[in-house]
Each structure stands twice: as C-alpha cells, then as structure tokens.
C-alpha cells in the first residue's frame, strides 16, 4: 500500500525508464510520429498527451485518490476549462459566496455572456441551498479553504446535497493540497488545484490540474484541446519535480504555520488571527475532522489599522510582499490592497476582508527565524507608526 509521499515521487513514472533515466526527461517535442490515432489522440503537445503530461496526470490522480487527472496551463485554465466543459447556455451553477477573485470574475462577468448563470450560496448554511436550485442547476462549486480567511464550508453537506440532486460537485483544493485534504474521498466529482501554489511549491511555475471521474476528466481534456490551455512540457517537468517534495513541504509548512498562528494569537500587537488549526477558528472542529493538517495559510490583523499594517509589512525582512502562495519563500500581502483590490469596499466588507487584514503564506524558512522576524516587526512598528 503506497503512501502519498511515495506516490508524489513514483506514481505514473514511465516503465521501462527511457534510457534508464531516473526522472521523467523533458519531452521538448511539439509533435510525434503518427500511428493512425484519432484526432484527439494524435501525439501533439496541445492535446496534453506527451509523456510529461501522461506521467503528471497519473501522479496527480494518485495523490488526489481519483480515477484520472489532467494537468493544464494554469489554475484558471483548469477552472474555466472545467466550467465551460460542464455548462452550456441556459445552465446554472451554485457557487460559494467567497471564491478566488479570478473565479468570481469568471462566474460574474464572463460566463453570463455564454448564457451561464450562477447563484451565490452561504456554504455554512445548508438549509438555505435548496431555495437556490433551479431546474437548470447542473453543478456546485466551492473551495476547501476560503481566501484569505481560511473558512471551511460544510463540505460533507455539499457532497450529500449535490448527490441527492444529481449535481456535479467541483472543489478548488488549492489552499489544502491533497496532502491535507482529498475531497474525492468525501464524494466530490472534480478536484481543481492551482498547481502554481503548493503542488509545485517553488514560486516558479504557472500550472493547474483537474482530477476526478475519468469520464468528466476526458470531456474536459477534449474541450481543452480546443481551448488550447495545455501545459508546456518544460513547465510539466518542473511541476513533476516540485511535486516530489509536496508531502514534506506541506507538513513542514503546516507545522510552522501552527506555531506562528499560536504566537500571533497571544501577541498584544495582533487583534485577530484566522487559522483553522486554532481552537478559536469558527470551523476548527470541522477542519480537524476532515483534514490531515491545517495548512500553511493564515490571515491576521495587527492593532492600529491600515497604516500600522503597512508599516509592519515594511519592517519584515524574510517574507516578501507578494500575492501568490504555497511556495518555499514566505509571502505576505494585504489583500485589500492587492489580491482583493478588484472588489468594491462593500464587497470586501461582505467577504470579511477588512482594510488592515494581512494574509500570510508560510514558507519553508526555519519557523524560529520567521517568528523572530514577525516579533521584531511587531515591536518596531509602534515607533514607526507614531513617529
């Protein structure tokens, strides 16, 4: 019986090894000799069927515990490709109220142009969902952990509710990664990752994946063959390399984040900490029951509002102020000024993104060094802000 850390290194590897190579080489070829295959299976990199794509697909499926998986050019390619494959003009989808900004934009601004509508649901209130279902509803879309507050929806209820009504369930599992949570195990049909984040883990690749039922993954592949959002073989190689350490990275980031969240919660200069591993988190018990770990993402507020938050960010020496997450380098950002700046102040308020809120993606630096840096910045800031 293989473990996820073993799967992350070996699942789907080519056999026999080409020329004995211990890792999958980069197949930097756009097209392959023809042997009578049908259109979608002709060897051609846009059709996501090079050896690099095939190994990645099998490896991701093993990690997610699904029948099949497809690696694509970005998380958004996976999200848009999935929704455009499953939904046609006139169809309707239920979507969690707080989603990644790109997904919200796609649902709110792009898909309506194709006659696809959505209703927003409160993921904490299953009793309210039935009212939002229409005869045209085909699917439900949620995220494992919301950005940036790390809220955990009633995911078991989502899977049950959708199964009873024949809806396809789609979940963006980016913040958890399959190391901490495998949504297919509780009945989700399709699991999306922005592999740009934890899956690759080195802040140097843009990639995405969709894993799940083989019939659905095949349909998404066929549609993506026309959309054209296939992953470049070199990026596929980097993603495969990054994924080999997924298990050790995510475990280490989870450990460090837990220590850091506890420290911040007890610090007089910090007013609120949102981390599912803290007993004070509203869905802590649910997260503890469903997840193998609480992850490396958290959000917090320093006392003193935006000005002090900005001074605190400027005083840090290890984390870089940047919008992405899940890599070796710790990244920190004030969402209202960056990743959520596209929302109106009212929309931000509704999703709990206060102006001074800070989102922290804990990296792989020594937790002691990160803690010392955070403490030093918190100490320095009162003088900086008042003087």
Residues marked active site are found at 46, 100, 172, 197
Other Cβ atoms less than 10 A from the Cβ of 285: the count is: 12
Q: How many residues bind ligand PLP (CB under 6 A)?
A: 14
Told to check if 105 binds ligand PLP by CB under 6 A, we report no
Q: Which of 206, 261, 353, 362 binds ligand PLP (CB under 6 A)?
A: 206
Q: Which of 55, 61, 76, 176 binds ligand PLP (CB under 6 A)?
A: 76
Stretch that binds ligand PLP, among 112-120, 172-180, 220-228, 373-381 (CB under 6 A): 172-180
Other Cβ atoms less than 10 A from the Cβ of 110: the count is: 13
Stretch that binds ligand PLP, among 24-32, 46-54, 68-76, 367-375 (CB under 6 A): 68-76
Q: Which of 80, 194, 253, 330 binds ligand PLP (CB under 6 A)?
A: 194
CB 333 → ligand PLP: shortest distance, Å?
Answer: 11
Told to check if 196 binds ligand PLP by CB under 6 A, we report yes
CB 75 → ligand PLP: shortest distance, Å?
Answer: 2
Told to check if 100 binds ligand PLP by CB under 6 A, we report yes
CB 324 → ligand PLP: shortest distance, Å?
Answer: 6
CB 326 → ligand PLP: shortest distance, Å?
Answer: 8
CA 265 to CA 150: how far, in whole Å? 15
Closest by CA position to 293, among listed 171, 175, 211 = 175
- Residue number with CB closer to ligand PLP (80 or 354): 80
Positions 222 through 251 that interact with ligand PLP (CB under 6 A): none
Three-class HEC string of the chain: CCCHHHHHHHCCCCCCCHHHCCCCCCCCCCECCCCCCCHHHCCEHHHCCCHHHHHHHHHHHHHHCCCEEEEECCHHHHHHHHHHHHCCCCCEEEEECCCCHHHHHHHHHHHHHHCCEEEEECCCCHHHCHHHCCCCEEEEEEECCCCCCCCCCCHHHHHHHHHHHCCEEEEECCCCHHHHCCHHHHCCCEEEEECCCCCCCCCCCCCEEEEECHHHHHHHHHHHHHHCCECCHHHHHHHHHHHCCHHHHHHHHHHHHHHHHHHHHHCCCEEEEECCCCCCCCCHHHHHHHCCCCCCEEEEEECCHHHHHHHHHHHCCCCEECCCCCCCCCEEECHHHCCCCCCCHHHHHHCCCCCCCEEEECCCCCHHHHHHHHHHHHHHHHHHHHC
Strand partners, 120: 95
CB 73 → ligand PLP: shortest distance, Å?
Answer: 8
3-42 footprint of ligand PLP as x/- string (CB under 6 A): ----------------------------------------
Q: Which residue's CB comes closest to ligand PLP?
A: 75
Q: Which of 50, 52, 66, 74 binds ligand PLP (CB under 6 A)?
A: 74
CB 207 → ligand PLP: shortest distance, Å?
Answer: 7
- Residue number with CB closer to ligand PLP (147 or 253): 147
Q: Which of 52, 66, 104, 147 binds ligand PLP (CB under 6 A)?
A: 147
- Residue number with CB closer to ligand PLP (143 or 310): 143
Q: Which of 75, 178, 201, 229 binds ligand PLP (CB under 6 A)?
A: 75
**Which residues bind to ligand PLP, rule: CB under 6 A?**
74-76, 100, 102, 143, 147, 172, 174-175, 194, 196, 206, 208
């Amino acid at each position: 019986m293989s473990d996820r850390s073993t799967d992350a290194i070996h699942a789907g590897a080519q056999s026999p090894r080409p020329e004995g190579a211990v890792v999958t080489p980069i197949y930097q070829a756009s097209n392959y000799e023809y042997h009578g295959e049908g259109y979608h299976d002709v060897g051609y990199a846009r059709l996501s069927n090079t050896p690099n794509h095939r190994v990645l697909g099998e490896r991701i499926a093993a990690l997610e515990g699904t029948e099949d998986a497809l690696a694509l050019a970005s998380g958004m390619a996976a999200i848009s490709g999935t929704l455009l494959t499953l939904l046609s003009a006139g169809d309707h989808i239920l979507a969690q109220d707080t989603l990644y900004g790109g997904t919200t934009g796609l649902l709110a601004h792009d898909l309506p142009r194709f006659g696809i509508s959505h209703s927003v649901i409160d993921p904490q209130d299953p009793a309210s969902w039935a009212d939002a279902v229409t005869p045209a509803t085909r699917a439900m879309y949620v995220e494992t952990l919301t950005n940036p507050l790390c809220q955990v929806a009633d995911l078991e209820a989502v899977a049950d509710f959708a199964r009873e009504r024949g809806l396809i369930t789609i979940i963006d599992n980016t913040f958890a990664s399959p190391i901490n949570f495998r949504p297919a195990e509780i009945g989700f049909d399709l699991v999306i990752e922005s592999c740009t984040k934890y899956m690759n883990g080195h802040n140097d690749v843009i990639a995405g994946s969709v894993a799940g039922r083989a019939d659905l993954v095949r349909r998404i592949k066929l549609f993506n063959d026309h959309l054209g959002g296939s992953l470049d073989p070199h990026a596929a190689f980097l993603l495969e390399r990054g994924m080999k350490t997924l298990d050790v990275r995510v475990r280490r980031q989870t450990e460090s984040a837990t220590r850091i969240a506890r420290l911040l919660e007890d610090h007089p200069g910090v007013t609120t900490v949102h981390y599912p591993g803290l007993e004070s988190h509203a869905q802590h018990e649910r997260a503890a029951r469903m997840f193998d770990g609480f992850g490396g993402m958290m959000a917090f507020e320093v006392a003193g509002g935006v000005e002090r938050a900005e001074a605190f960010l400027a005083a840090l020496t290890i984390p870089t102020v940047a919008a992405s997450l899940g890599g070796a380098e710790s990244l920190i950002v004030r969402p209202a000024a960056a990743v959520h700046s596209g929302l109106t102040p009212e929309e931000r308020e509704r999703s709990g993104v206060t102006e001074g809120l800070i989102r922290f993606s804990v990296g792989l630096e020594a937790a002691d060094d990160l803690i010392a840096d955070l403490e030093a910045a918190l100490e320095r800031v009162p003088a900086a802000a008042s003087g």
